[in-house]
Every structure is written in structure tokens, then in C-alpha cells.
């Protein structure tokens, strides 16, 4: 069942791992039941060269490229359509400490696409009124808070507590996990003292060398806002890290694919009611959603998710309902340029191609 593939995909994303979903659709032009197959390839599969589905070498390289670059690929060959969708876990920014640097850091982190969690042991600092842009605000001791969060390879950790002792306690806990980024605030003298102490406690030098301390890019930051800017800039650079062929990590302009968790959850559940999936496969110009964004259309008009809204979305919904009644699948263009954008009051002025398939 294709729903199992989406269930496995959610499992990978919850573990902080990347994956690629390959959709193969047969008999694309028939007005009958369209046969499609969903194949999930995990990060481990592609790193190990596992090719159990016997894809030819050229196609397999395209799948690997999707995982490395974050770029969705769509192609048609004869009576088959191939949709290669990379999925990256939602990047989570964990800020340990709710002081003066945390305030602008939460705001900046949320604006650049992180799901932000703030932790502090003081109720006057750990509350949603102080951090309206945070997805989660946890009031708990730094000793116990790690039982409440999920640190994994898609987690970015910033340690900015109010004191030297709390910073060390937090770093000891974070070093137990494999994270995308760990940074700790402090002067060079103070940081050297912490590292020497942890080395004497048996922590590996290799692990400690991966800690960004003093934290942030060296831009001469002084104010809390400037320091937060230096930190989030460094975090963004780590978000764009990918492994090159020689094993050395480098910063690239990797795309971060867009997806809706609620849509994936719905696709992971076995339901007797048929549905159609609408996926944005390419964009040009200014559009409200990126490649990979999805919505589900049910036979009686119920929808889940969005590809941007407006009358143009409505026409695609009608096409999806037609496909549910008559079979087949279709690529359709949504033009938001010129008078269409003006009539609908859109600030967009681009074109989206969407792929509509029954599920």
C-alpha cells in the first residue's frame, strides 16, 4: 500500500533524517484507473548505494541528486511519469536560555524558517508572551529539559544561558546527541576553560571541536540584536551543509523542500475514500508556494493543504475531482501573471505547474 510509504517517510522525518519519495505512474493518458507506485529511499539507502529497485544508473543518480540538492524532479517517458521528491525534516532551533539574546534570536530564527523552542527555568523568562514567535516555550530546569525535547540530526542547538555553570551542564547533555549544529556563548578565555574541563572529564576532542564556541560569525557584534544576527547567520550556514563526494562538508545553496505535515499524515493513513494529490512540480517568477507543496482533494469537495489559494487553485480542484471520477492524471499550469493576478488581488506574478494524481 502506498500509505505505508508515507508512514515510513514520517518516521524518517521524525528521526531527523532526509529521504526521497519516488512516484512512478503508468498509463498516463488513459481515462481509466491510473496505476501508481510510491517508493521511499532513505538517506541510509542512498549513502550505501542500496538500489534494490534496480533503477538504471542515470535515474539512480537523479534520486541521489534530489537528496543532496533538495530539488524536486519530474519527467515523462513514454507511458510512464516519474516524480522524484526530496523530503528534509523540519529544521528545529533549540535555544537554551531565555535572556536578552534569546529574544531577537527567536524572532530571526522563526523568520528564516526554523521551528523554535526556548527553554529557561524562570517563569518570568519562559513564557509565550515574551516569545510570541516561538513554537514551544518550556519552563523547566536545564537538567530535566532534555527529556522534553527530541535532539536529532536536524536539530540546531544554541546555548545562551545566564551563567557559566548552566552552559556547561547544557553542553554536557547536548554532546550525547548527534545534532546539526551546537553553539555556546562565551569569551575565548571562558570557552577554553570549559573545553579543558570537559576534556579532563573524558569527552572526546573531536566532539568538542564541533562545538561553535565562541558562538556566531565574527562580525564585531555588540548589541543583543547584532549577536543574534551573528548566531543565526552561522546556524543558516550549517543548515546548508551537505556532504561532498570526498566526504568533506561544504556550504551550498541547497533548496529546503516545502511540505505540509498534515498532508503527509493524511496520506499515511489507510482510508477507503479515494483522493487526489496535487503537487507543485515547477515554478517561475513570484508564487505563493514552492516546489513540493501539496494539497489533497476529496470527491465531494473537501480539501487539505493549499498550493496558494485563489480562483486559480479552484480550477485545479475541479480538474482533480474530474480525475477522481474518470481516472487518469494530468499536469496543469496555473498562470498568476498579468490580469489574473490583478483580478484576484495577488502580489504574485508567476506560473506554477502542478501534477494531479489519484491516490
pLDDT of residue 301: 79
| The residue to which cell 530564527 is assigned | 109
CA atoms lying within 13 Å on the CB side of residue 92:
20
Give the whole-angstrom CA distance, residue 227 versus residue 231. Answer: 6
Is residue 25 a contact partner of residue 2, using CB atoms and an 8 Å limit? no
Long-range CB contact pairs, 63-70, < 8 A, 24+: 63/20, 63/22, 66/20, 67/18, 67/19, 67/20, 67/41, 67/43, 68/242, 68/243, 68/254, 69/242, 69/252, 69/254, 69/255, 70/254, 70/255, 70/256, 70/257
Torsions phi, psi for 220 (to 5 deg): 75, 30
Give the whole-angstrom CA distance, residue 93 versus residue 149. Answer: 11
Candidates 147, 145, 217; CA nearest to 181 is: 217
Give the whole-angstrom CA distance, residue 22 versus residue 271. Answer: 21
**3-class secondary structure, 143:** coil
For residue 283 the three cell numbers come to: 515554478
pLDDT of residue 92: 94
Q: Which residues pair with 295 in a beta bridge?
A: 278, 305
Task: Flag residues of the chain having pLDDT under 70.
Answer: 1, 27-35, 78, 241-254, 310-312, 338-349
Cα pseudo-dihedral 288, 290, 292, 296, rounded to 10: 0
pLDDT of residue 142: 93
- What predicted TM-score, i.e. pTM, was given to this entire model? 0.79
| The residue to which cell 546539526 is assigned | 180
Is residue 354 a contact partner of residue 295, using CB atoms and an 8 Å limit? no
pLDDT of residue 244: 40
In terms of DSSP H, where are the helices of the chain? 2-14, 43-48, 57-69, 102-111, 164-174, 188-200, 205-209, 224-239, 261-268, 310-326, 338-343
Cα separation values, 124 from 18, 127, 138, 176, Å: 37, 7, 12, 29
Give Cα 148 distance to the centre of its chain.
Answer: 21
Q: Is the CA virtual torsion 175, 179, 183, 184 positive or negative?
A: negative
**3-class secondary structure, 83:** strand
Could you tell me the domains of the chain? Answer: 2-88+257-358 (no CATH), 92-243 (3.40.50.720)
Is residue 81 a contact partner of residue 24, using CB atoms and an 8 Å limit? yes
Candidates 322, 298, 293; CA nearest to 309 is: 293
Amino acid at each position: 500500500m502506498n500509505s505505508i510509504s508515507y508512514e515510513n517517510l514520517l518516521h524518517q522525518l521524525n528521526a531527523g533524517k532526509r529521504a526521497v519519495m519516488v512516484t512512478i505512474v503508468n498509463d498516463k493518458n488513459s481515462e481509466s484507473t491510473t496505476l501508481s507506485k510510491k517508493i521511499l529511499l532513505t538517506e541510509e539507502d542512498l549513502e550505501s548505494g542500496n538500489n534494490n529497485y534496480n533503477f538504471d544508473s542515470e535515474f539512480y543518480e537523479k534520486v541521489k541528486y534530489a537528496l543532496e540538492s533538495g530539488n524536486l524532479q519530474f519527467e515523462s517517458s513514454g507511458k510512464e511519469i516519474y516524480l522524484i521528491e526530496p523530503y528534509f525534516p523540519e529544521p528545529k532551533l533549540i535555544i537554551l536560555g531565555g535572556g536578552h539574546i534569546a529574544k531577537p534570536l527567536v524572532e530571526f530564527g522563526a523568520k528564516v524558517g526554523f521551528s523554535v523552542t526556548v527553554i529557561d527555568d524562570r517563569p518570568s523568562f519562559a513564557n509565550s508572551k515574551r516569545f510570541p514567535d516561538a513554537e514551544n516555550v518550556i519552563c523547566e530546569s536545564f537538567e530535566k529539559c532534555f527529556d522534553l525535547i527530541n535532539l536529532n540530526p536536524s536539530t540546531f542547538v544554541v546555548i545562551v544561558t545566564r551563567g557559566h555553570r548552566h552552559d556547561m551542564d547544557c553542553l554536557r547533555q547536548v554532546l550525547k546527541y548527534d545534532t546539526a549544529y551546537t553553539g555556546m556563548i562565551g569569551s575565548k578565555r571562558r570557552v577554553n576553560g570549559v573545553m579543558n574541563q570537559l576534556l579532563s572529564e573524558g569527552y572526546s576532542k573531536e566532539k568538542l571541536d564541533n562545538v561553535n564556541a565562541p558562538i556566531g560569525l565574527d562580525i564585531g557584534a555588540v548589541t543583543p540584536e547584532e549577536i543574534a544576527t551573528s548566531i543565526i547567520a552561522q546556524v543558516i550556514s550549517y543548515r546548508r551543509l551537505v556532504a561532498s563526494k570526498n566526504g568533506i562538508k561544504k556550504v551550498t545553496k541547497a533548496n529546503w523542500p516545502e511540505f505540509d505535515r498534515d498532508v503527509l499524515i493524511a496520506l499515511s493513513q489507510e482510508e477507503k475514500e479515494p483522493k487526489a494529490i496535487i503537487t507543485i512540480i515547477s515554478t517561475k517568477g513570484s508564487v505563493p508556494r514552492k516546489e513540493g507543496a501539496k494539497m489533497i482533494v476529496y470527491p465531494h469537495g473537501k480539501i487539505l493543504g493549499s498550493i496558494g489559494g485563489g480562483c486559480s487553485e479552484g480550477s485545479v480542484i475541479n480538474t482533480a475531482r474530474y480525475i477522481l471520477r474518470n481516472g487518469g492524471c494530468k499536469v496543469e499550469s496555473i498562470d498568476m501573471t498579468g490580469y489574473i493576478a490583478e483580478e484576484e488581488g495577488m502580489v504574485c506574478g508567476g506560473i506554477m505547474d502542478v501534477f494531479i494524481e489519484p491516490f
